[in-house]
Amino acid sequence: MQRIPRRQFTDDSKSQAVVLAESVGTAKAARQLDISANTLANWLTTSRSGKPPSSPARQPISELEAELARLRAENATLKMEREILKNATAFFAKESK
């Protein structure tokens, strides 16, 4: 089974799609352009927030941002482990009485 290649849209085509959606409506514009209404709605939201139309997931992040994300994930894991150990300690303290 072959994979269908993912479609790529330029910033210019996204901007034109946003203009069309603002004039005729999101659902109708999405049907005309043969794209998902959710995708077009995301482009509209991004456009209204003043950000460039490129997707945020594709923008490069700095080393500091990557390290910060890693440390936040590690911190969340450690907090969860600490909570599990607290509950286990309380459970075994009850059992020993």
Backbone angles phi, psi at 85, to 5 degrees: -65, -40
Burial 58-87 (b: 16+ CB within 10 A, else e): eeeeeeeeeeeeeeeeeeeeeeeeeeeeee
* Model confidence at 82: pLDDT above 90: yes
Q: How many CB atoms lie within 10 A of CB 48?
A: 10
Query: For the segment 6-52, what is each residue's pLDDT rounded down to a tens digit?
Result: 888 888 888 888 888 888 888 888 888 888 888 889 888 888 887 66
* Model confidence at 85: pLDDT above 90: yes
pLDDT-derived band at 74 (thresholds 50, 70, 90) equals: very high
* Model confidence at 55: pLDDT above 60: no
| Mean pLDDT taken over the chain | 85
pLDDT at residue 76, as a whole number: 94
- Joined tokens for residue 70: 């890693």
pTM value surpassing 0.85: no
